[in-house]
């Protein structure tokens, strides 16, 4: 698949900073041309956090599509808890400020690495 390689890592925590093991993370995104695969569902997949609440996603940087800045969709759910549906964003994107649902609280930390980009994001769920 063409595109800039991207690895996103981080943790899922409760509001009291307890790691959430076994949290579901369901990611989906457009390809580097801004197109979703709505038949084969490439670039959609789920995983569960490890016993330390950690996750790691290997993907590519998504392209923009009309009306939206670059973003990655994600559903996060602690075991037996409600689902959080949200999106992750990239700092420094020119179109962030023109996207009506952009939220700076959802910016990842993104750094260039030799193989592409490395990003981190910590999820804090509204669970005790
Ligand atoms: Fe989208």
Residue 77 belongs to a domain with what CATH number? 2.60.130.10
For the residues 18-39, what does the mean pLDDT come to? 98
> Does residue 77 lie within any of the structural domains?
yes
Rounded alpha-carbon distances, angstroms, from residue 69 to 10, 37, 44, 45, 125 = 22, 18, 19, 21, 25
Distance 39 CA to ligand 1 centre (A): 16
Assign 98 to helix, strand or coil.
helix
| Confidence class for position 22, pLDDT limits 50, 70, 90 | very high
Distance 16 CA to ligand 1 centre (A): 31
Q: Which residues contact 71 (CB under 8 A, 6 or more apart)?
A: 29, 62, 87, 88, 89, 90, 99
> Does residue 29 lie within any of the structural domains?
yes
C-alpha to C-alpha distance for 38 and 15, rounded to whole angstroms = 35
Q: Are strands 109-113 and 24-28 parallel, antiparallel or unpaired?
A: unpaired
Distance 123 CA to ligand 1 centre (A): 19
| Confidence class for position 42, pLDDT limits 50, 70, 90 | very high
C-alpha to C-alpha distance for 36 and 62, rounded to whole angstroms = 10
**Average pLDDT of the residues of the chain:** 97
| Confidence class for position 80, pLDDT limits 50, 70, 90 | very high
Q: Is the pLDDT of residue 128 over 90?
A: no
Distance 71 CA to ligand 1 centre (A): 6
Q: What is the pLDDT of residues 44-75, one digit of tens each?
A: 999 999 999 999 999 999 999 999 999 999 99
Angle at the Cα of 31 from the Cα atoms of 70 and 71, rounded to 5 degrees? 20
Please give the biggest Cα pair distance in the chain.
41
> Does residue 128 lie within any of the structural domains?
no
C-alpha to C-alpha distance for 67 and 100, rounded to whole angstroms = 9
For the residues 18-30, what does the mean pLDDT come to? 98
> Does residue 91 lie within any of the structural domains?
yes
Q: Which domain holds residue 113?
A: 5-123
| Confidence class for position 18, pLDDT limits 50, 70, 90 | very high
> Does residue 62 lie within any of the structural domains?
yes
Question: Which tokens hold the place of 113?
Answer: 């690495």
Q: How many domains does the chain have?
A: 1
pTM summary value: 0.96
């Amino acid at each position: 698949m063409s595109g800039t390689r991207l690895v996103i890592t981080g943790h899922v925590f409760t509001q009291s900073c307890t790691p959430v093991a076994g949290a579901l993370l369901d990611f989906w995104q457009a390809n580097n041309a801004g197109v979703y695969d709505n038949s084969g569902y490439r670039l959609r997949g789920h995983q569960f956090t490890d016993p330390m609440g950690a996750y790691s996603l290997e993907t590519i940087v998504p392209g923009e599509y009309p009306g939206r800045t670059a973003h990655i969709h994600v559903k996060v759910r602690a075991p037996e808890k409600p689902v959080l549906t949200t999106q992750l964003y990239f700092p420094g994107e020119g179109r962030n400020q023109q996207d009506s649902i952009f939220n700076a609280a959802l910016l990842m930390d993104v750094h260039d690495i030799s193989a592409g980009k490395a990003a981190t994001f910590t999820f804090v769920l509204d669970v005790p």
